[in-house]
Amino acid sequence: MTGLIVRGSNNIFYVRPLDSAEESDLEILAGKELECRIKGKVLKGVQGYYNPLAPGDKVQIEVDPLHPGKALITELVERKNAFTRFNQKGMAPQLLAANVDMVLCVTTPASPPFRPRFLDRVLVQAERAQIPAVIIVNKWDLHEGDYDVDERLEDYRRIGYRLLLISALTGEGMDDLAALLSRRVSVMVGQSGVGKSSLINKLAPHAELKVGDLCEKYERGSHTTTMSRLIQLQGSADGGCIIDTPGVRRLMPDGIGPDDLALYFREFAPLVGQCTYGLSCSHRIEPGCKIMEAVAAGVIHEDRYESYLRLTDELKELY
Ligand code: GDP
Ligand code: ZN
């Protein structure tokens, strides 16, 4: 039988049986989530990760007639893609979501302050995984014409990202968000306190995610969500589903070396290899560097360039 991972911790995963299950089985299971463990020690093809499975993964399961509600995971159905980050504590890639159609990068104009550096990391990771990304600016009710924020947002639009200006509080833009999510599997990524739980509660009231007190979550930095979780939106099949990820403070990209980072800054990518020193250009000091020329000409925003420089430094330390 095939099942969908909806959430999981170290070795226990909650799996929703999918339609391919025998009808008689489905009746017994009737929308139930099965508590599953991996059969044997390791799952074929998933070694090397901090966690072997993530919400959105499809697996083969064996139901256990002696233990109703429990099953064993025997196999991973090949992933279409994976949204990961590099877990620095575990020194391994961490799977945040699998088989997703879209990455929602949630940010705010204020409270917590707009953080383009964090946004750039999420965008880079989405480019690496070849998953389309949309920038969701929540708490738009708090926006007061901050020139710097407006100018940065406009630049993201210019380089080709779709932006949605919304408010979970007033409901502004929520219809557009619901339309965007329909029929798709989306993963929501953002720092703690940007309103991910509030947005999901609006879209899927049955989810009842705990909305944190801003002081508690953002200023003191304790997190109410610790693991990703898949939530079906509004029951209907075309409602889509959303994978909520833990609100991380920092996101270290996974699968990207300092030398190939420029490929994942989408407005840098066409210039890669065009510099006088070709692919060995560090884009920092070399004469005839097309990236530095583009920064000087305003084709690359200097703040994106700054993000790029900082991130290459961090990646160099990592590798
Ligand atoms: P999460 O950490 O990303 O899940 O954020 P939460 O959903 O827990 O929200 C953090 C805080 O921001 C809570 O106090 C929410 O009430 C508040 N909040 C969420 N969305 C909005 C919004 O659109 N506007 C305003 N003003 N506050 C919001
Ligand atoms: Zn260069």
Q: What burial letters (b/e) apply to 268-286, b meaning 16+ CB within 10 Å?
A: beebbeebeeeeebebeee
Mean pLDDT value of segment 179-206: 93
* Tokens at 204, concatenated: 């899927």
Distance 169 CA to ligand 1 centre (A): 8
Distance 60 CA to ligand 2 centre (A): 47
Distance 171 CA to ligand 1 centre (A): 12
Distance 308 CA to ligand 2 centre (A): 12
Q: Is the bond preceding residue 112 a cis peptide, omega within 30 degrees? A: yes
Cβ of 194 closer than 6 Å to ligand 1, yes or no, is yes
Q: In terms of pTM, does the model score above 0.85?
A: yes
Pairwise pLDDT comparison (25 vs 60), residue with the higher score: 60
- Binned at pLDDT 50, 70 and 90, residue 20 comes out as low
Per-residue model confidence as pLDDT tens digits over 216-275: 444 333 434 468 999 988 655 566 899 999 877 889 999 999 999 999 999 999 999 999
The 3-class SS string of the chain reads: CEEEEEEECCCCEEEEECCCCCHHHHHHHCCCCEEEEECCCCCCCCCCCCCCCCCCCEEEEEECCCCCCEEEEEEECCCCCEEEEEECCCCEEEEEEECCCEEEEEECCCCCCCCHHHHHHHHHHHHHCCCCEEEEECCHHHCCCCHHHHHHHHHHHHCCCEEEECCCCCCCCHHHHHHHHCCCEEEEEECCCCCHHHHHHHHCHHHCCCCCCHHHHHHCCCCCCCCCEEEECCCCHHHCEEEECCCCCCCCCCCCCCCCHHHHCCCCHHHCCCCCCHHHCCCCCCCCCHHHHHHHCCCCCHHHHHHHHHHHHHHHHHC
- Binned at pLDDT 50, 70 and 90, residue 296 comes out as very high
| Pocket residue to mutate for ligand 1, from 165, 198, 231, 251, most atoms within 8 A of Cβ | 198
Q: Which atom of ligand 1 is nearest to the CA of 247?
A: 2
Q: Specify the pLDDT at position 31.
A: 59
Whether residue 211 is predicted with pLDDT greater than 90 in this model: the reply is: no
Q: Specify the pLDDT at position 26.
A: 46
Q: Specify the pLDDT at position 78.
A: 95
Residue nearest to atom 17 of ligand 1 (CA): 195
Distance 313 CA to ligand 2 centre (A): 16
Are the C-beta atoms of residues 225 and 243 closer than 8 Å to each other? no
Q: Specify the pLDDT at position 235.
A: 52
Mean pLDDT value of segment 297-318: 97
Distance 213 CA to ligand 1 centre (A): 8
Are the C-beta atoms of residues 232 and 171 closer than 8 Å to each other? no
Give the range with max mean pLDDT: 68-77, 127-136, 195-204.
127-136
Ligand nearest to the CA of 174: 1
Q: Specify the pLDDT at position 43.
A: 87
The mean pLDDT value of the chain amounts to 89
- Binned at pLDDT 50, 70 and 90, residue 11 comes out as confident
Ligand nearest to the CA of 203: 1
C-alpha closest to that of 311 among 167, 138, 120, 127: 120
Q: Specify the pLDDT at position 301.
A: 98
Ligand nearest to the CA of 287: 2
Cβ of 142 closer than 6 Å to ligand 1, yes or no, is yes
